[in-house]
Amino acid sequence: MHVNGKVALVTGGAQGIGRAFVQALLGKGAKVALLDRNSEAGQESKAALDEQFEAQRTVFIQCDVTDQEQLKGAFKKVIEHFGRLDIVVNNAGVNNEKDWESTIQINLLAANMENYGVRLNTICPGFVNTPILQSIDKEENMGQYYSYKDEIKNMMQFYGVMDPSIIAEGLITIIEDDTLNGEVMKITASQGIHFQEYSQTPFTSSKR
């Protein structure tokens, strides 16, 4: 699918990886709805992007993705505003080991989108340089894993921390290659963008 002229919705688009996604999609000619629960960061991001791209190509919608009504309303607004919706990027995420139920609810929201006739792919990055990494030093985020914070920092040094732009490059690859569906794209500092490979099994489903 060509990105040019398409309409994308990016959750958690106000900062970090989501912001890099929005920027890359705009750079490829898309119109983008940037959803985030953080209104201040969302508005700041839109203002910064408007300096680089035509303002009417980006809309910020405040939305907490865990609130089904807000989320449905946001999808409706995007279609009313831009007239269509072609690409959904389920990026919003938190690191909250003390409230793992809400972490799952936020981070894995897209799991039930397969019945909408869309291609569904996932991106699994290693460490990426975004504000979420500051949560490693906070007991309120790390909970029982707080005592591992120095180990995690050692891991970050060992494996490397990537720039969000490489994750955005992975997203554009997924959108542009229509053959990709059900794929797990891994992005690491040492191997770059690559895919999880699964061994072939002899059974072929009649539903494929």
Ligand X SMILES: CC/C=C\C[C@H](O)[C@H](O)/C=C/C=C/C=C\C=C\C(=O)C/C=C\CCC(=O)O
**Cβ closest to ligand NAI, residue 131 vs residue 192:** 131
Alpha-carbon gap, residue 124 to 14, rounded angstroms: 20
Separation in Å, CA 73 to CA 65, 80, 143, 190: 11, 10, 34, 41
Shortest distance (Å) from residue 2 CB to ligand NAI = 25
Among 38, 43, 66, 135, binds ligand X (CB under 6 A): 135
**Cβ closest to ligand NAI, residue 52 vs residue 134:** 134
3-class state of residue 33 by DSSP: strand
**Cβ closest to ligand NAI, residue 64 vs residue 97:** 64
Which residue has 């991106």 as its token pair?
123
Token output for 72? 């449905």
Which bin fits 63, alpha (ψ -120 to 50), beta or left (φ > 0)? beta
Rg (CA), the chain: 18
Among 32, 136, 168, 171, binds ligand X (CB under 6 A): 136
14 binds, among ligand NAI, ligand X, none (CB under 5 to 8 A by kind): ligand NAI
Alpha-carbon gap, residue 131 to 144, rounded angstroms: 21
Shortest distance (Å) from residue 56 CB to ligand NAI = 23
Looking at residues 149 to 168 of the shown chain, list those that interact with ligand X (rule: CB under 6 A): 152, 159
188 binds ligand X (CB under 6 A): yes
**Cβ closest to ligand X, residue 85 vs residue 152:** 152
**Cβ closest to ligand X, residue 173 vs residue 188:** 188
Alpha-carbon gap, residue 177 to 15, rounded angstroms: 26
Shortest distance (Å) from residue 35 CB to ligand NAI = 6
Alpha-carbon gap, residue 80 to 169, rounded angstroms: 29
Residues forming the site for ligand X (CB under 6 A):
95, 126-127, 132-133, 135-136, 152, 159, 188, 190-191
